Structure 1
């Protein structure tokens, strides 16, 4: 399920600032990056099911590395998926997501947008 019109799509922000914001909202970076793309995940466990809210981006300046200071990231449309063992995470439109999860994801993404706006517009 994609979260359209969150306001974070197409925002550009420096990688260190973005990572700080995402971590403050419970997202992890782990190893989900290469030199051009980056993915932040937030895990949810609801009634025995596991879901991931995912925010991705790509470098428009510099390269993405562990301690990159000069990379600038352009964010993409966030989405949520459900984890199925042993196949992985499914993001299909036919997935059913609990309303409480969708509401929580919308609140988190609104807070991410607020935090990004505070940094970008400072």
Structure 2
């Protein structure tokens, strides 16, 4: 994990507004959200390793499953997930088990971050700052 200093840290705004600004840029809300917190993820690359720019956010008024929730953005960071090559040895046998175990677990959930992806992540954060931070 590589933290990125940014002016968006501690910015408080509507989650709806953030979605309207960030989704057209390629961000998605990561699947690991709960009622109090979540992440905007931006996929930088996915060749053998998935490289993400991740912007965490936390509910400050309401909960994430409630329309109109207000969130505070936290420090962005870069994340690398290295995946095993070949068949998924962790997957269970059978159609029912396969439905639950269809995705490989990362072989290294916190892989090395090459400098070019650090630069790409910093460039994208500068773009996000221009969208979100008031002038």
Q: Please tell me the TM-score bracket, short chain as reference.
A: 0.7 to 0.9
Which TM-score applies when normalising by structure 1? Answer: 0.79
Larger Rg: 2
Query: Deviating runs (4+, > 6 A) in structure 1?
Result: none
Residue pairs, 1:1-122, within 5 angstroms: 1-45=1-45, 48-65=48-65, 68-85=66-83, 86-88=104-106, 90-91=109-110, 95-118=111-134
Cα RMSD of the aligned pairs, angstroms, is: 2.1
Aligned residues: 114
CA contact (8 A) 2:44 2:120 kept: no
Q: Any stretches of 5+ residues in structure 1 without a counterpart? A: none
CA contact (8 A) 1:42 1:54 kept: yes
Which TM-score applies when normalising by structure 2? Answer: 0.73
CA contact (8 A) 1:8 1:113 kept: yes
Residue 21 of structure 1, CA deviation: 1.6
Q: Any stretches of 5+ residues in structure 2 without a counterpart? A: 84-103
